[in-house]
């Protein structure tokens, strides 16, 4: 059986970096076959996108080891492919994902994906976080923010650290991060520092998800969307009606990535969350696969 896969980097920064994903536009694969394709590609996520209406699509997501409910960078990558091969003519599209219905819009070269409204979970003790990241408790406590679970489709543990030096000095214990993620039923840890000399940059980030076979990821749309919500909830952002935030990720992997997050606020509550960025198609690959019947 043949499978055509677009190899796409989403959330690129100046045509560099970004996060690669496999994009499959064909329909008709079984769950087992999709898992086998994702394992063969060995990207952090592969998306299988099918059209089910004039402006409505359905997406399924697989890591090399399992299915997941949502992936921001893979979804942005897939609609970037459709846009470049001239399949998209409307301004707004919807995509049905396992967690609900999301919206795709375009702003020049940026592709924006809406996410579910945030759900704020429990606060995690700093001591548990510090030990798995190889940092001191004071590196977290000095931020005056608390590690907390937040979800806009996927549950992540958000971890503030005081400085960029601390962020990039992290030497994670992947086995312990996996155990911590399992304990709190989270995808992984999204660690960030608000320290930046760049006025347009909100935070620098690193994301660890070894529970799902991803030691560190260079750009995570879903996590950064939730991070924007976390910062608003914590009073870090001004009470404006609209925010456009820029999160930088992937520098520790030599894959510099820009993830834009837009928040729409009404009556001091978040009414819409979007993440967006640019994509680059690196390759169109045809896989010759043998599946067991």
pLDDT digits (tens, 9 = 90+) for 49-76: 999 999 999 999 999 989 999 888 999 9
Burial code (b: 16+ CB inside 10 Å, e: under 16) for 200-233 equals eebbbbbbbbbbbebebbbbbbbbbbbbbbbbbe
- Residue 254 burial class via C-beta count within 10 angstroms: exposed 0-12, middle 13-18, buried 19 and up: exposed
Interhelix angle 126-133/174-183, nearest 10 degrees: 150
The answer on pLDDT for 103 being more than 70 is yes
DSSP 42: -
| H or E stretch at 223 | helix 221-233
Whether 225 and 237 have beta carbons less than 8 Å apart is answered as: no
Whether 221 and 277 have beta carbons less than 8 Å apart is answered as: yes
pTM of the model: 0.89
The answer on pLDDT for 293 being more than 60 is no
86-100 pLDDT per residue, tens: 888 778 999 999 988
174-211 pLDDT per residue, tens: 999 999 999 999 999 999 999 988 889 999 999 999 99
Q: Are strands 92-97 and 56-62 parallel, antiparallel or unpaired?
A: parallel
Whether 93 and 112 have beta carbons less than 8 Å apart is answered as: no
4-55 pLDDT per residue, tens: 999 999 999 999 999 999 999 977 899 999 999 999 999 989 999 999 999 9
For residues 245-262, average pLDDT: 97
Left if phi > 0, otherwise alpha if psi is -120 to 50, otherwise beta: which for 44? alpha
Report the 10 Å Cβ neighbour count for 285. Answer: 12
Report the 10 Å Cβ neighbour count for 173. Answer: 15
Tell which residue, 72, 74, 73, has the closest CA to residue 34: 74
229-252 pLDDT per residue, tens: 999 999 999 888 899 999 999 999
Tell which residue, 222, 220, 217, 21, has the closest CA to residue 115: 222
Burial code (b: 16+ CB inside 10 Å, e: under 16) for 6-32 equals bbbbbbbbeeebbbbbbbbbeeebeee
For residues 261-266, average pLDDT: 96
Q: Which two tokens stand for residue 65?
A: 């080891």
Q: What is the dihedral of CA 247, 252, 256, 261, to 10 degrees?
A: -20
CA-to-CA separations, 170 to 10, 42, 173, 182, in angstroms, rounded: 25, 25, 9, 21
Interhelix angle 72-84/221-233, nearest 10 degrees: 120
In 3-state terms, what secondary structure has residue 82? helix
For residues 263-286, average pLDDT: 95
Domains and CATH numbers, the chain: 2-115+278-288 (3.10.310.10), 119-276 (3.10.310.10)
Whether 218 and 17 have beta carbons less than 8 Å apart is answered as: yes
């Amino acid at each position: 059986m043949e499978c055509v896969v677009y190899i796409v980097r989403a959330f690129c920064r100046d045509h560099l970096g970004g996060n690669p994903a496999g994009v499959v536009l064909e329909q008709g694969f079984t769950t087992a076959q999709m898992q086998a394709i994702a394992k063969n590609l060995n990207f952090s996520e592969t998306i299988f996108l099918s059209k089910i209406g004039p402006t409505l699509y359905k997406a399924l997501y697989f890591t090399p080891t399992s299915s997941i409910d949502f992936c921001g960078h893979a979804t942005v990558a897939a609609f970037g492919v459709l846009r470049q091969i001239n399949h998209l003519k409307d301004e707004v599209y919807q995509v049905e994902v396992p967690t609900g219905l999301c919206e795709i819009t375009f702003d020049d070269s940026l592709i924006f994906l809406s996410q579910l409204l945030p759900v704020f979970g429990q606060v995690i003790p700093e001591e548990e976080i510090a030990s798995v990241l190889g940092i001191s408790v004071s590196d977290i406590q000095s931020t005056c923010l608390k590690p907390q679970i937040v979800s806009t489709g996927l549950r992540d543990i958000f971890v503030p650290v005081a400085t960029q030096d601390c962020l990039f000095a992290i030497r994670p214990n992947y086995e312990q991060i996996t155990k911590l993620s399992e304990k709190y039923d989270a995808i992984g840890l999204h660690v960030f520092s608000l320290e930046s000399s760049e006025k347009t940059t909100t935070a620098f980030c690193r994301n660890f998800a070894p529970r799902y076979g991803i030691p560190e990821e260079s750009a995570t749309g879903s996590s950064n969307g939730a991070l924007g919500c976390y910062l608003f909830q914590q009073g870090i952002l001004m009470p404006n009606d609209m925010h456009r935030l820029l999160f930088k990720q992937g520098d520790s992997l030599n894959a510099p990535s820009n993830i834009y997050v837009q928040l729409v606020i009404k009556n001091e509550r978040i009414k819409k969350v979007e993440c967006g960025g640019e994509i680059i198609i690196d390759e169109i690959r045809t896989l010759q696969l043998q599946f067991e019947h």
